[in-house]
Amino acid sequence: MVLYVKNMVCERCVMIVRQQLEQLHFEVKDISLGKVEVVPDPNPNQLQDISATMQMLGFELMDKEKDQLIEQVKNKVIELVHYSDLNALNQSLITVIADRLDKDYAYLSRLFSDVEGITIEKYIIQQKIEKVKELLEYGELNLNEIAYKMGYSSSAHLSAQFKSITGLSPSKYRDSNANPRKPLDKIK
């Protein structure tokens, strides 16, 4: 059975969900952000136990198809923005997401906006800004290198977008702790 889990946003989340399911005596056949396949199929009581365990850890089982699709979109955005080289993609993030989910972009966009109250594009920008904050805090890359890595056309474009979201320029952000980073699952 495939279970869809909301708020799985990093490899630690995957590890924790795997551990919890194994403690409940399920074999994890496959696991990725937001999705886990277990055997044997849980009965209704076991599903309640899984749900309760997941909720205690800040996760949530999803049963509605639309909710699952929204979570898949979010997980693809997080995966692409935080764990891949955006500059290496030869197409837009939106196109990559629609292709990987094998869904029409217009449908995904409309559904995402209706459910989340924000466009996919704005969600992507929010995630990118959080990744830029992380890279700025590490201090290993200059702004031009960050802009390149994050798929921006220039450091000026990155700076303008960063300032419009955070209210600070990237250099002011780097020099202060005035605008702390947000957990990935809290970005809207």
What b-and-e string marks burial along 156-165, b requiring 16 or more CB atoms within 10 Å of the CB? eebbebbeeb
Q: Return d(Cα 186, Cα 136) in angstroms, integer.
A: 20
| Token pair in block for residue 94 | 């939106």
List the chain pLDDT tens, one digit each, 188 residues.
899 998 988 899 999 999 999 999 999 999 998 899 999 999 989 999 999 999 999 998 887 788 889 999 999 999 999 988 888 887 888 899 999 999 999 999 999 998 889 999 999 999 999 999 999 988 899 999 999 999 999 999 999 999 999 999 998 988 886 667 777 666 76
Determine contact, residues 97/106, Cβ cutoff 8 Å.
no
Q: Which of 65, 151, 16 is closest to 8 using CA atoms? A: 16
Based on its alpha-carbon atoms, the radius of gyration of the chain, rounded to whole angstroms, reads 18
Going along the chain from its start, the domains and CATH numbers come out as 2-63 (3.30.70), 64-188 (1.10.10.60)
Summarize pLDDT for 161-177 with one digit per residue, the tens. Answer: 999 999 999 989 888 86
Summarize pLDDT for 48-63 with one digit per residue, the tens. Answer: 999 999 999 999 888 7
